[in-house]
Chains A and B, each alone.
Chain A
Amino acid sequence: MTTDAAFGNGPLRILIAEDNHSDRMILHAILTRQGHEVVMATDGMEAVEAFHREAPQMVLLDAMMPRMDGLEAAREIKAAAGEQLVPIIFLTSLSDPESLASCLEVGGDDFLSKPYNRVILRAKINAFRRMRELHQSLQNERDRTHQRNEQMLHEQEMARRVFDNIAHRGCLGAENIRYEASPMSIFNGDVLFASPKPSGGVHLFVGDFTGHGLPAAIGAVPLAEIFYGMTAKGFAISDILREMNRKMQAILPTGVFCCAAMVDLNLKSGHAEVWNGGLPSGYLLRHDGSRDELRSRHLPLGILPADRFSAACERHAMEVGEHLLLCSDGVMESVNREGEMFGEDRILEVLAGGGTPSDVFERLRGAVRSFAEGVGSEDDITILDVAMAEESLLEAVEPEVLPDTGAGPLDWEMTYELRNETLARFNPVPLLLHICMDVPGLRLFSGELYTIITELFNNALEHGVLRLPSSLKDSPAGFSRYYSERERLLGEIRHGAVSIRLEHRPDPQRRGGRLLIRVEDSGDGFSGEALSQSLAHNGLSGRGLALVRQLCNNVRLCGKGNCIEAEFVWHAGRGESRSGVSEEGNSHE
């Protein structure tokens, strides 16, 4: 008989509730000899008490008992057992179907009829033991799943905070930008970045990684670093896109990529450069109610190797108050209760719905929300809306300042020379700016330095090496001819050089310093009068060098006129900066 205990998973604790003394004795004998532990009760009330006290794993219950009958006791025991499966076997000599049915209705699991038979009883107990084990393992599995889910949400929360630390900076809070994005959108694979450029204007980025969850989120971190890091260093939109594509191609597994659109919004000149690779069409919303479609012209980021990737952007003029709208495919793929998708047609309906360009964002957001109401797909929606604005708007946006390590170089000089075809292919400004940014405290002046180095380099390249006459730029038509001529000459360049010398000296109190920027080209140079003319020129052409003169303490021509030296004196802490870098210095137009 002891083998019974070994069979299955050891003995069970079984409650017997039976008012007949002799019947109770028989059951007790059968069960104890099969190795089980037996708890006895003589009526329903005792049975419920014993259940609470002894927590038996199985209950044998007489249907008809004094005080509380078996049906009521079964109901209470099942309620007390809760999620635990405690099988109840009714002991019965009842025979009418209705009585038997009512036993099952109150939660009974089976019957055992009199006379008690030990073989049948053993088989039933073993069957219920297996059921209990199955139930238990299902519950454990469910609890583990629940636990894992909790843990995953917790980890996502942590991951999101790490991501926010990388991507929170930037200017999504700027007055001309509105957006819709779920706080956990990164785990839908959606990313949204905006950052002011050191040269003025804004870079914007909407991305949508394939897939969901962690695999979709993991690529967002390097993407954010590239976007914010390169934008702050003054890289152009095409450089940033190329680097993003290279990085995504290197790190993402096959089949994972990032549909994306990037915008370079130039507030100064009033135009937007747009690149769209795989995102749904964006729209430029005009004052007159018309719209330009910003169609995807490229493959998503992370697919093409660097030599086949194109960062070519479309250039669109925008007037102040005109809007640019981008969204991830979550908008089109939003599903309503009937399982229909929102679709492109509904987007176009919203766009055609009249109103001003600035109304469209709210109307689109409202339309998608009410469409998908109660379905729970709103979390996947990412919409970005940006308005062309006056340049002064961005002054309210604090530039992102990376903390100085304080350990950078203070006293140094370097010379960097670009030669021949490299002049046409490589923009040295971000690299040089990056070097300057290593000087502790100088980071606050990245915008000014970007402008100074860019203008001096372009001056040397365009007038010195390419010999373009600046007078061409006097009219708008000449302006565009100037640039097409510039492109042509750059393509043909075989010989020439531009040398940039940077020299930094700290001031004696270490409260700032002096940066000397000397740019020399291989050209013929030009006379002092031409320079002073150029510096005095108020037209379009002279703008660049005049700006340099405003930003620097001292600008002078040297050599045979093929060399300009500019001196930038700075003081630690922006509030105490030179009066030369004043309001009128920046708003020269």
Chain B
Amino acid sequence: MSDQQHLDHEALTELRDVMEDEFNILINTFLQDADERLRQLSEAARAEDADSFRKVAHSFKGSCINIGAPILAECCFAAEQAGREDNLSQSGQQVAAIEEELATVSEQLRRYVRE
């Protein structure tokens, strides 16, 4: 049940159709980039750089929407909003939430790819 919430299977099916034999490469690329985004977010939070925090979160959100990870996109959007409002007081929790959701998405995507 929780699978449905973490991954948009309809979107993934569409993507598989579009990407054909490059689908696996796409998922791997997303996951590698996601780790990099997460690292950049932690860095921006530590440096209290709200603008950078906002930009990374925005870009991360975009790729989450495209790949079909709606909850992760929601988490990114919350971080983006905080950055825009120049309020990084919750940034630690926000990064933690993204990290946790990414772990779930990552685990499920790997399983999806193997299927």
**A contact set with B: CB distance below 8 Å:** 19-23, 25-26, 29-30, 33, 62, 64, 66, 93, 114-116, 118
Contact = CB atoms under 8 A, between A and B. Distances in A.
B96 interface: no
A20 B73 CA distance: 14
Contacts of A29: 18-20, 22, 26
B26 A22 contact: yes
B66 interface: yes
Contacts of B18: 26, 29-30, 33, 118
Interface string B13-49: 0010011101001100110010000000000000000
Given A93-B65, A115-B11, A26 B33 contact: no
Contacts of A33: 18, 20
Contacts of B29: 21-22, 25
A449 B11 CA distance: 107
A22 B65 CA distance: 11
A449 B55 CA distance: 103
Interface string B52-70: 0001001101110111100
Contacts of A19: 59
B26 A26 contact: yes
Nearest to B34: A22
Nearest to A18: B62
Contacts of B30: 22
Nearest to B77: A93
Contact of A93 (B15, B25, B33, B58): B58
29 contacts: A20-B33, A20-B62, A22-B26, A22-B63, A22-B67, A23-B63, A23-B66, A25-B22, A25-B26, A25-B29, A26-B15, A26-B18, A26-B26, A29-B19, A29-B20, A29-B22, A30-B18, A33-B20, A62-B62, A64-B55, A64-B58, A64-B59, A93-B58, A114-B62, A114-B65, A114-B66, A115-B65, A115-B68, A116-B66
B44 to A, nearest CB: 13
B61 A93 contact: yes
A21 to B, nearest CB: 5
Given A22-B29, A25-B26, A29-B22, A115 B66 contact: yes
A232 B66 CA distance: 92
Contacts of A116: 66
A25 B59 CA distance: 15
Contacts of B61: 93
A21 B34 CA distance: 10
Contact of A20 (B22, B63, B68): B63
A192 to B, nearest CB: 75
Q: Which 4 A-B pairs have the closest CB atoms?
A: A22-B30, A114-B65, A93-B62, A20-B63
Contact of B62 (A23, A25, A66): A23
A30 B68 CA distance: 16
B58 A22 contact: no
Contacts of A114: 62, 65-66
B26 A20 contact: no
A82 B25 CA distance: 39
A62 B20 CA distance: 24
A62 B33 CA distance: 17
Contacts of B68: 115
Given A21-B33, A115-B11, 8 more contacts: A22-B66, A23-B62, A23-B66, A26-B26, A29-B26, A114-B62, A115-B65, A115-B68
A569 to B, nearest CB: 108
A33 to B, nearest CB: 7
A48 B37 CA distance: 25
A95 B62 CA distance: 12
A35 to B, nearest CB: 14
A29 B20 CA distance: 9
Given A25-B25, A115-B68, A116-B66, A20 B19 contact: no
B67 A25 contact: no
A64 B59 CA distance: 8
A46 B56 CA distance: 19
A30 B66 CA distance: 13
